[in-house]
Structure 1
Amino acid sequence: MNTTLQRAIVLSLLMLLMTATRTHYFTHFTPVPDASWAVFFIGGFYLRAWTRWAFPLLMALAVTVDWFVISGQGISFWSHYCVSPAYWFLIPAHLAMWMGGLWLRRHYTGASLPALGRLAASLLVATTLCHLLAQGSFYWISSSVAEPTLAGWWKNYSDWFPLYLGSTAMFVAVAAIAQVASEQVAKHAQGAAQDRRQH
């Protein structure tokens, strides 16, 4: 399978995953949590060469899904409490996840314990920064919090962070397992081909 086709498949799967789960952010009706943050992290890892247009495409998809979900509830998109000036901080927030995946890809040479450590570190840093931008901007800029305080912000940040980190890590773990499995299949196929040539 050529690289372009592989990237196209990954991008299609990421778009489907985000479309299927992002409604959870507004409705909480989906059986699985929002995978958006994981989608951008995984996208950064697999779609590095397509960053210039794949990242904007996924951002446009995120906004489109939000618009359809909000409008479907009979609410004007611009009057929804989540769509304040802070909403546009989702762009740098999601970019933080993408950059985490990019960094991991630059330092990835194959499945190993050090690679697992780098995965954990990059995911933690990216999610921490993403949550800081998304939650922090909503807390301080939107009108949803009447009297913002540093203590109130920290409680809100720390209360929600484990949930977001856990759900993001769950999706990334599935992608990591798939990556390791594909490497093992490729290694086995290469070994079998070498054996055939030798005999």
Structure 2
Amino acid sequence: MSECFPMKDLGPLKFFLGIEVSRGKQGIYVSQRKYTLDIISECGLLGAQPIDTPLEQNHALAKDAGELYSNPSRYRRLVGRLVYLALTRPDLSYVVHLLAQQGILFSKDSDLHLDAYCDSDYDSCPKTRRSLSGYIVLLGTSPICWKTKKQKTVSMSSAEAEYRAVAFTYQEIKRLKELLLLFQVPHPEPVTLHCDNKAALYIAANPVFHERNT
């Protein structure tokens, strides 16, 4: 592999992406002890006493009619961390499977107005120095299109990278408006495109061609 990719020998693997690796006479042992402690600490249960809590059999979690969780983003983050923990704890697979049964809601009450959000990760590739462009497009309140892609050229600044993300998203907006017309859904009003970089917005609003527009 070193003949095809630039590599450096850092010695025997001990810790990688939250996974601890140890070697012994019987073989290689992998665990996520520190990663697990981080999850427990984040939940405020670091000092709690361990206890067996078996999952109720045939539990229909999806049919639960209780109140919605007040902080869904925290719940998703915790479930995501548990999904990764299941790499070395297969005994958690069933529980994580139940907790991770989430999806995307396409609301029947949403209007047919397009809203788009875009962002970039400047200089994210350590080898090519290219940035990432990402966007998500909503039809009303329902997400219908999202994508992340490495930019084709190197951006000289974060503002330029953000501008390229805006242009990348604009191309998708044009495609979606044409697609809506095929479904006989007119969209005469302007599409709202959200960007968090003022410099990129100034570049996009400036009709004068300059080097950052290339």
Normalising to structure 2: TM-score of the pair?
A: 0.27
Normalising to structure 1: TM-score of the pair?
A: 0.29
